[in-house]
Amino acid sequence: MYLITVLGKLLIILAVSSDPHLHTPMYFFLSNLSFVDICFTSTTVPKMLVNIQAHSKAITYEGCITQMYFSIFLAGLDNFLLTVMAYDRFVAICHPLHYTVIMKPQLCGLLVLVCWITMVSLFYCSAIGVYVSSTGTQKSQSISIASVMYTVVTPMLNPFIYSLRNKDIKGALKILTGKKTAKVPLS
């Protein structure tokens, strides 16, 4: 699942950056979300895989604090990017004639920057459940399942939810893999 997550996100970033037709605010935000999701997943999953392989649950205090800091920071950033993406779609739907004036590249860059300066119910419910139940006497298996849901499954599904159902991204990926040739506009 980790490899699917990372490869799916990298494909989105590569498709968006290589296809000039995808140099729009929506895809700019999507590629940033993909990058943040790679980072978020990479804060916990590699250590989890090492622990599974070594049959150990040990982590140093410093490692725990570092992992918690980046997990919280990147989860917050993920949420801010989702908010910015919602605003972008709001402007595109409610003010289509003013879209290009409102969503200038400078504003898009500023919105992503604001997201950098601190997933939906699945993420929040499972994350809150893990941290609230950690003080009680819950089975470690249910805590582990909930942790995997918001650190691995949610980011793995994002490429499928946000982009692979999108015809523009599919077209860019076909061009990227050589299954389709790019159309060059005549000037």
Residue 15 has pLDDT above 60, yes or no: yes
Residue 46 has pLDDT above 60, yes or no: yes
Domain boundaries, the chain: 2-177
Q: Output 157 or 52, whichever has higher pLDDT.
A: 52
What is the torsional sign of CA 133, 123, 78, 32? Answer: positive
Residue with tokens 């940033």: 32
Angle, alpha carbons 117-11-68 (nearest 5°): 40
pLDDT tens for each residue of 119-140: 445 556 666 666 666 555 556 6
- Of 66-70, 95-99, 172-176, where does mean pLDDT reach its minimum? 172-176
In this prediction, residue 35 has a pLDDT band, given cuts at 50, 70 and 90, of: very high
Residue 161 has pLDDT above 70, yes or no: no
Distance CA 88, CA 162 (A): 14
CATH superfamily of the domain spanning 2-177: Rhodopsin 7-helix transmembrane proteins (1.20.1070.10)
End-to-end, the C-alpha distance of the chain in Å comes to: 45
pLDDT tens for each residue of 98-123: 888 888 888 888 887 776 666 445 55
| Cα Rg of the chain (Å, integer) | 19
Give how far the C-alpha of residue 62 lies from the chain's centroid of Cα atoms, to the nearest Å.
26
Identify the three-state secondary structure at position 113: helix
What is residue 21's DSSP assignment? Answer: G
